[in-house]
Structure 1
Amino acid sequence: MIDNSMQQLTFIRPEILEWREIGSPKIENDGQAIVKPLAVTRCDLDLYIANGTIPMKDQPFAFGHEIAGEVIMVGDQVTDVAPGDRVIVPFQINCGTCKNCRSGLTNGCTSVPAFSAYGLAQSSGVEWGGGLSDYILVPFANAMLVKIPSQLSLPVAAAISDNASDGYRTVAEPLLRCPGEDVLIVGGLAQSVGLFAVQAAVALGAGRVVYSDFDHARLALAKSLGAEILERRYALGMPLDGQFPIVVDASNIPDGLIYALRSTAACGHCTGISAPGRTIDNIPLASMYMKGITYEISRVHARAEIEKVLQCACAGHIQHQDVITTRVPFRQAQEVMTDPDIKLVFEAS
């Protein structure tokens, strides 16, 4: 049994988050489950929503979406998990049965409104709840929830629900097609995703793994993870540092994206993990066309990536905890959400 009311961290406006008492979720059909979040990592996006860099409407919503926790209750048709199981909760809501979900395109589930996710109600127009709450409702428990292997910590599991899987997918498929190729990761505002991409590229056997950034702390961490580092402040027309078959743009800065695209070798692949602006001038389309490069931009299909990331983590090939820089109790999330640390984890007491 759970209490009728609970605490939820709610975004009010930039720099203002509040703990609010709301009704606890209830199981309403046999395929649902209730999970108690025990570790919630701060997504890179959360920092910029909280500090106002990414503008949001004056419409409060539940906060936090990188979640690991414990199953508390399940509906009668939930067979894959049981109360007491430690689970990863993918941040996107996905049914597991629509055409997109069956194809592994779980970012595009057609059974729910587009962009449905925890902690991001303004994207879909539907409030699914947030990880920084006493409880969350999981609407498609068999499809969504993933048991956490015993050797993995809750903070690592939480990061795998979004950013760690996002970093992994930027290099995994390109390296599968082109084993041993060099990788350039253009670091920046997507702080942890770029560093998780470094880890994945090293683990998956890339040749050179080069990481560029303008932030000394991220550069130092990237070097410790096995990357060559380049201190760069991105600017239009800046000199290039070579041509790379595989490039990741984690800068979330227009000039960083242009640098990434210009640095992609002929017939190479560049993945953008965020949209650094609604429109961007000076994208080098003619050069991209002549070189024949592929540019991919999308949210991660989180649920479809999780098992592959778990395999790497459980085998010891990737130590995701090395990117987590700060541990904070849940109840301090309100005060520290806008701290500039690379990767925070909020832990339940």
Structure 2
Amino acid sequence: MQRLVFDGPHTLRWEEAAEPTLDAPEQALVRPIAVATCDIDPAIIQGRFPLAGPYAFGHEGVAEVIAVGDQVTTVRPGDKVVVPFQISCGTCDSCRRGRTGNCTTHPFMSSFGLGPMGGLAWGGFFSDLVGIPHADAMLVPLPAGVDPATVASASDNISDAHRTVAPYLATDPGAEVLVLGGPAAASIGLYAAGLAVALGSARAVYLDTDPERLAIAAKLGAEPIEGKPTERVGRFPVTVEAAGGSKALVAAIRATANDGVCTSVSVQTQDVALPMLEMYSRCCTFHTGRAHVRPTIPQVLDLVATGRFDPSVVTTQTVAWADSIDALLEGPVKLVATR
């Protein structure tokens, strides 16, 4: 089979590789049919994030089930499924508590398509076939009528955005939301703004300096405000930092209202001095870290299937499978490759 390999900055290539096989009755084989870029992918390809190749690339996508083991009961060949990027068994204590990103059955941070960071054994989604170790626990059937390309990022980025707003709007309906957008987590910030609107926020503000991202935020129903992430535009019960960098992170915390929640979805590679006294005084809750995507994917798919949220608005480029390399090197906000 063919798979796409990342060798190093600005270097991608197709290679022939052995096909994965069914080695246990709970496994499945899937054929990716719509694969999206994660926000971290452009940084990796451009050499801005230190992840060494070579490794099989891609970790967001929808696939067709090709074969299943004897014990698999939730999917069958021909089904279209969202494949979460994290490997999870569904039965360990972490998985049963919904902490599927920290499954204890496998090595820490096991995931598809992230090379040494996620383990090299799992393969990537830009491949003809991918082996799924726990099909019933991991694979989420695609609802009827939902285009695979529309939800290719449900594997990671859409679900990551969902956790920044959904739990808080569920307990505080109509809460206003501020998203500090930027290049670090470009699509996650936009998804967060759109999901805030879909979930009933009375005001979802998207702050950014980039005209393209501001226009997308407006199409999602958010209120776009042009400005640097450090500019003060008020205090909000829910804030999302997606801009990247220590200044944006501190600004997001300082924009969080009394008893509010701030979630950072950008990857901070340097230590950041937090304004702890301010956070303490305002009873600010701060959260960062990888999203546990598997439990969230069905909620995302329901929002799309019922017409309340359209993530395709964030997709800035869709290409044929054979054109993936050139498109990946260009680094659009959100790329989806289909076949």
Counterpart check, 1:105 vs 2:99: yes
Deviation at 1:239, TM superposition (A): 4.4
Counterpart check, 1:87 vs 2:78: no
Amino acid at match of 2:250: I
| Aligned equivalent of 1:335 | 326
Is 2:151–2:312's contact at 8 Å kept on the other side of the alignment? no
Aligned counterparts of 1:79 and 1:125: Cα–Cα separation in 2: 27
Amino acid at match of 1:111: T
Is 1:254–1:277's contact at 8 Å kept on the other side of the alignment? no
Amino acid at match of 1:228: E
* Residue from 297, 317, 324 that aligns with 2:315: 324
| Aligned equivalent of 2:150 | 156
Pairwise mapping of residues 99-138 of structure 1 onto structure 2 (< 5 A)? 99-138=93-132
| Aligned equivalent of 1:3 | none
Kindly provide the CA deviation profile for residues 264-312 of structure 1, in whole angstroms up to 9, marking residues without a partner as x.
Answer: 011100011122223124x211111111100011211111101111111
The 3-state SS of whatever aligns with 2:329 is coil
Counterpart check, 1:217 vs 2:212: yes
Aligned counterparts of 1:212 and 1:338: Cα–Cα separation in 2: 27
| Aligned equivalent of 1:269 | 261
Deviation at 1:121, TM superposition (A): 2.2
Is 1:48–1:54's contact at 8 Å kept on the other side of the alignment? yes
* Residue from 5, 11, 15 that aligns with 2:6: 11
Amino acid at match of 1:273: V
Is 2:51–2:115's contact at 8 Å kept on the other side of the alignment? no
| Aligned equivalent of 1:309 | 300
Counterpart check, 1:194 vs 2:185: no
| Aligned equivalent of 2:336 | 345
Is 2:55–2:120's contact at 8 Å kept on the other side of the alignment? no
Distance of aligned partners of 1:239 and 1:30 in 2 relative to their CA distance in 1, 3 Å threshold: closer
Kindly provide the CA deviation profile for residues 22-53 of structure 1, in whole angstroms up to 9, marking residues without a partner as x.
Answer: 10101111110000000001111111111111
* Residue from 34, 40, 56 that aligns with 2:35: 40
Is 2:261–2:285's contact at 8 Å kept on the other side of the alignment? yes
Percent of aligned positions that are identical? 43
Counterpart check, 1:279 vs 2:271: yes
TM-score using structure 1 length: 0.94
The 3-state SS of whatever aligns with 2:330 is coil
Kindly provide the CA deviation profile for residues 33-90 of structure 1, in whole angstroms up to 9, marking residues without a partner as x.
Answer: 0000000011111111111110223x31110011111111111111111111111111
TM-score using structure 2 length: 0.97
Kindly provide the CA deviation profile for residues 311-332 of structure 1, in whole angstroms up to 9, marking residues without a partner as x.
Answer: 1111100011111121111122
Provide structure 2 residue ranges, at least 5 long, that are not aligned to the other structure. none
Residues paired across the two proteins, number = 338
Provide structure 1 residue ranges, at least 5 long, that are not aligned to the other structure. 1-5
